[in-house]
Structures are given as structure tokens and as C-alpha cells.
Amino acid sequence: MMKKLSVKNQFRLGTALILVFFCSGFSLLEYKYQKDFATQSIYKETALHLATADATRTYVKDILRPRITELLPDGEFVREAMSTTYLGREVMARIREKFPDFTYKRAAFDPVNPVNRADEFERRMLEWFRENPNRRQWSGIIKKGNHSYYAQLNAIYAEKECLTCHGDPRDAPPKMIEIYGGKGGFGYREGQVVAADAVLIPVDVMFMRIKEKAIWVFLIGGGALVFLFGFFYLLFNRTVILSLRDLITTFSSITGEETALKNVGPADEIDQLKEAFEAVASHLSSAHEDLKASETKYRRLFEASQDAILICDAGSRLEDINDAGIALFGFRNRAEALEIETFYQLFWDGRRAAALMGEIDRNGAVREYEVEMVDRVGRQMVVLITAHRRQEEGRAAGGFVAVLRDITEKRRMDKHLAQTEKLAAMGQLAAGVAHEINNPLGVISLYSNLIAKTAPADPQIQKDLKVIHKHARHCKEIVESLLRFARRSDPKKVSCDIHAVIDEVLGVLTHRLESGSIEVSRRFAADLPPVTADTGQMKQVFMNLFLNAAQAMPEGGRITVTTGFKDPGMLEVRITDTGSGIAPKDLDRIFDPFFTTKGPGAGTGLGLSVTYGIIEQHDGRIEVESAPGSGTTFVIHLPLDSVPGET
């Protein structure tokens, strides 16, 4: 392939061609114009000379010769006054003395005077006039020897008057025959082309000057244009070429390819720019594709993540949230989630949020930060947050990305497991202790009874024996409840109506509650499906809970029993009292065996742990909500036999 010129050289070559073409064209036009102008002037000059010669001849023919003929005797001929040719030549010779730049000749094929004999050119012209009788004049440039001339020729026709001298020689004046001889210039016929007046003006020098002038125009004009184009070239180089090269370098740096500014090869700067541009375009297009693919990949990861992902700006305002996040906080859709003022709103305690932000700011990231958060309707949940400060390219630092995992259920399960394990261990211990104590207690009771029967009737001994007996019985009661707690016999489940169970327990406790000024309100759900449960154990559960509630309200109060369905397929029973409430430090311990806040002899601390065990054996769960002074609510969840509304 032929090497392509650089844009710079293309410009140079183009400019040079334009210069040559333009200057040559202009000079040629100038030359032609000058030449035409000069030719026209010469034409006028030759026409004037010919007109002078013609006027002289006409005067001689029409005025002078007839007058002289009258004066002279017959046969006389005075050449100086009667020959039109002679007089014409003489007058023209005199004019030439003043204006020597032309030659005049009356050329004839066969002249009377041999000096007028036509040369080669004139002979051709005379023949041409004869062949073209309607043409009386010819003018043009001719070459004679080494010189060029402008020639104008007028044809001369023989007239009637001419035939006197140039017809038959016998009719010609004898004096004329005497002067010229009778050889030439006779035999003319009227209307025949017999001669031509020819005026020639040399044009060599004039045309040479015009040519020189045209060359000067070419040189000066060319020089001026070279200067002008030189200036344009510098300007072009500065504004276009350098910019082009910069552009190519920039493009190359974008693609990372060293394609720019090749001084070899078939490409000029425009081609290189085109190549570089195409490279950039394809680079951009593939980068765009990559970006789109990566964006789609990360978007999919973001959307498909089972953990909630939140992206916040520097002002802790949500910028984006994935579906898991929307579901976690119970938002209806993304738009609703993005409307919240700040991330802080999602925390149970704003101070914890501030502490979390402080840690992200300090360390750049936090890992598995456990914190309580709330959803849109205020439900509390335990969440593990892993977050890092955003440091994206081309973006002011600030904001963070947080991955949230809801561990509420896990925490509850852990607690439940720990409680179950604790209960199992305590149960084993309790059973062991109860067995060990049961026998000595039986022995103590037996022997104290024997002593009472066999001992003398000493009232003091009888009194002491009664004390022993009473405490032994109390111990036996504790041992029995310990064994009940430890035994954990499989519940004998039957389908039962939980409302009826509650009513029965409340019926047994009526006297106790009324005497303690405690009101009971029932908010029972209608159409409650039956629950499969051990009725006896259920009675024990409600008995424990109602007695605890009553004990927490020594001054009286209200117990509210509410039943309903919150989670699908689960019965919820809420027992709320208006009692003393439970201190936060005790909340985690109330289900522990032997935990009691009641005085010695007033409580064993086994009621709630037995209750817990029974509910667990029924595949349910029990929770407590309480704060000191605001009463306590125990919530029991039990599986229903069928989903309400379905038959």
C-alpha cells in the first residue's frame, strides 16, 4: 500500500497545486487580455493606414487623374499625378518617416512596377481573396522569417477606369508604356481581384513584453500567495494539526493502545484519529458492556441477598435498600423506605445508632454489631449490623453500606434452648435431691408419729412433735412439687376448649380474687378452634399465672385475659395484670427454677419454670412483657388444631 501523506504534507501539496494552478491561470488570463487589447489597437492602426492609402488612391482616381488627363494632350501619362499605386506608395512612405513601425505594400500578381510583386504570403492571400469573392479584408498574425507581424490586407478590385491603363496595352498611354514597359500590369478584367493593400506591423517585441508582464504577475502574485499560504499553514499547523495530535494522544491514553502518531504506514492524522476514535468507541462500548454486566451482577447480588442491605449517604439518608431490607422493616415498597428521614429512625434507641455511626467513622467499618431496631409498625427486633464507610471513586467520601441480619428469632431460640437446658439440669438435680430427701422425710414423719403415740403424755414433747410434723409436711410438699417439676411426664393431650379451661380455673379462684379486690375481664376471640392439650397441665399453667398476678396486686387490680390469633395457626393468650411489674434485671430469670422474689415460705420459685416446661411440651412458647409499676403481661402461644376460618 502506498504511504499516505500526513495531513501537514497533504496541506502543503494541496497548497502548492492551488498556487501553481491559480497563478498560472491568472497569468494566462492576464497575458490573453493584454494580447487581445494590443491586437485590437494594432488592428485599428493597420485599418487607419489602409484607410489613408485607400483615401489617397480614391482621390487620385476620382479627382486628380481625370483633371490631369483633361490638361494633358492624349497619350501623355504623368506617373507622379496619375498612378494611384505610385501616389499611394509615396504618401505611405512619407507617413512611415514619422511612424516607422509599419510596412505598406500594394501587392499584385503581375504589377506594372516590379517592386509591387506579391511575395509568397501575399500571393496566397490574393488567391484566397479570389476564391472568396465576398471577403474584402483579412487580418491576423503571420510569421515571416524569424519575426511575427500583425497583417491586415484589403483586396483591390479592377474597376472600369482602371482598364484604360491596365486593360489592353495597346489602349494604355504610350508614356506609361515608356516608363514601365508593356510587360506587367495589363489584361485586367472589371471586378477581378488584381492586388491587395497590405499593412504589416511587427508584434514580436510587444508580445514579448506582454509575456514578461504575465511572468511578473505570476512571480509577484505567486510570491504573495506563498506568503499568505505560509501564514495559513502556520495557523493550520497550530490550530488543527497540534490539536489533532493532542486528540490522538488523549484517545490513545484512554484505550491504553500505542496507536498514536505513527509516522509510517498508510494512515494520515485524520485516519489515525479515526482509528483512535474507533478504538475509543469500541473501548467505551466494551467498558459500557462490562459495566452493565457488572452492574447487573452486583444488582442481582444486592437484590437476591437474604440479608438486608442498606446504602446511606453522608447525612445517613437511605439511598437504596434491597428487597430483604424492605421486608425486614415492613415497608410497602422501596419508595416508602427511601422516604424516611434518616437511618436513625430504624433504631429502638437513637443513642445506639449514634454509637454505631461513631464506630464506623472511627474505624471505617463495624462487624456484627448487635443492636435493637424497630420496623415500620414499631416491632422491636435484634439485628446484627456489618457496615463500612463508602469510599467510591469519583464520589465525595461519606455515607456507608450496611448489611443487616435479623437475629431476633435466633436470640429467642438461644434463650429458649438455654432455659430448656437449665431446666433439664435443674430437673435432674431436683429429682436426685427429692429422692434422697423423700426417704429421710418419710422416716422423720414415721418416727415422729411413733413417738407421739408411744411417748408419755408430756405436753411439751407433743408440742415439739407437732412442729417437727408440720415442717416435715412442708418439706414433703416442696419435694412433691420438685418431683412434679422433675418428672416431666408426657402430657396426655386431648382436643380441648381453652376458654373453658380458663373459665374453670378462674371459677376455682373466684373467692381468692374477689377477696383481694381483683377484677377479671375476658376478651375472648369468637370461633376459637380447639387446641390439643393436656387439660390438667393447662389448668396448672393458668393457675400459676393467675396466682402470680394476684400476688403482684396486694392492693387489688385487674386481670385481663385476651385470646386471639396473631401468627397463623397459633393461639395467643395474653394475661395482663395491673400489678407491681418485674424489674428488668429479673426478667431473664423468672423462668429459672427456685427464682422467687417472694419471702421465705411464700413462694418456691418453681411455678413459672413448671409453666415453661408444660408450654414447651405442647410445642408452644411463653413470653413476658413487663416494666416495674406498669403491670405484667404473659403471652402464651399454642398451636391450633386448625387455622381459624378453615374447616
Binding site for ligand ADP (CB under 6 A): 544, 548-549, 552, 577, 579-580, 582, 590, 595-598, 603-609, 632
Residue 610 Cβ, how far from ligand ADP at the closest point, in Å? 8
Do 366 and 387 meet the contact criterion of CB atoms below 8 Å apart?
A: yes
Q: How far apart, in whole angstroms, are the C-alpha atoms of residue 304 and residue 324? A: 8
Residue 605 Cβ, how far from ligand ADP at the closest point, in Å? 4
Closest by Cα among 371, 407, 410 to 387: 371
CA torsion, ordered 329, 334, 338, 342, to nearest 10 deg = 10
Residue 552 Cβ, how far from ligand ADP at the closest point, in Å? 3
Is 252 or 626 the residue whose CB approaches ligand ADP more closely?
Answer: 626
Q: How far apart, in whole angstroms, are the C-alpha atoms of residue 221 and residue 30? A: 12
Do 628 and 583 meet the contact criterion of CB atoms below 8 Å apart?
A: yes
Is 173 or 581 the residue whose CB approaches ligand ADP more closely?
Answer: 581
CA distances from 433 to 125, 237, 332, 444 (A): 164, 107, 57, 16
Q: How far apart, in whole angstroms, are the C-alpha atoms of residue 337 and residue 324? A: 12
Residue 599 Cβ, how far from ligand ADP at the closest point, in Å? 10
Residue 501 Cβ, how far from ligand ADP at the closest point, in Å? 19
Is 6 or 609 the residue whose CB approaches ligand ADP more closely?
Answer: 609
**Parallel, antiparallel, or unpaired for β 365-374 and 318-321?**
unpaired
Is 264 or 602 the residue whose CB approaches ligand ADP more closely?
Answer: 602
Is 34 or 604 the residue whose CB approaches ligand ADP more closely?
Answer: 604
Residue 582 Cβ, how far from ligand ADP at the closest point, in Å? 5
Do 517 and 579 meet the contact criterion of CB atoms below 8 Å apart?
A: no
Do 103 and 197 meet the contact criterion of CB atoms below 8 Å apart?
A: no
Is 449 or 481 the residue whose CB approaches ligand ADP more closely?
Answer: 481
Is 342 or 540 the residue whose CB approaches ligand ADP more closely?
Answer: 540
Any idea what DSSP says for residue 238? I
Amino acid at 252: S
Tally helices (H) and strands (E) across the chain. 19, 16
Q: How far apart, in whole angstroms, are the C-alpha atoms of residue 407 and residue 384? A: 7
Please name the residues in contact with 578: beta carbons below 8 A apart, sequence gap of 6 or more.
553, 557, 558, 631
Cross-sheet strand order for the sheet of 308-312: 318-321, 308-312, 400-406, 380-389, 365-374
Residue 556 Cβ, how far from ligand ADP at the closest point, in Å? 14
Is 423 or 608 the residue whose CB approaches ligand ADP more closely?
Answer: 608
Residue 491 Cβ, how far from ligand ADP at the closest point, in Å? 20
Residue 390 Cβ, how far from ligand ADP at the closest point, in Å? 48
Is 164 or 597 the residue whose CB approaches ligand ADP more closely?
Answer: 597
* 105-129 core/surface letters (b: 16 or more CB in 10 A; e: else): bbbbbbbbbeebebeebbeebbeeb
Is 30 or 592 the residue whose CB approaches ligand ADP more closely?
Answer: 592
Residue 393 Cβ, how far from ligand ADP at the closest point, in Å? 58
Distance of CA 399 to the CA centre of its chain: 25
Q: How far apart, in whole angstroms, are the C-alpha atoms of residue 588 and residue 567? A: 24
In 60-106, alpha helices (H): 65-71, 79-82, 84-98
Residue 333 Cβ, how far from ligand ADP at the closest point, in Å? 42
Is 445 or 597 the residue whose CB approaches ligand ADP more closely?
Answer: 597
3-class SS at 132?
Answer: coil
Q: How far apart, in whole angstroms, are the C-alpha atoms of residue 371 and residue 382? A: 6
Q: How far apart, in whole angstroms, are the C-alpha atoms of residue 560 and residue 633? A: 9
Residue 623 Cβ, how far from ligand ADP at the closest point, in Å? 13
CA distances from 165 to 175, 181, 549 (A): 11, 12, 176
Is 287 or 508 the residue whose CB approaches ligand ADP more closely?
Answer: 508
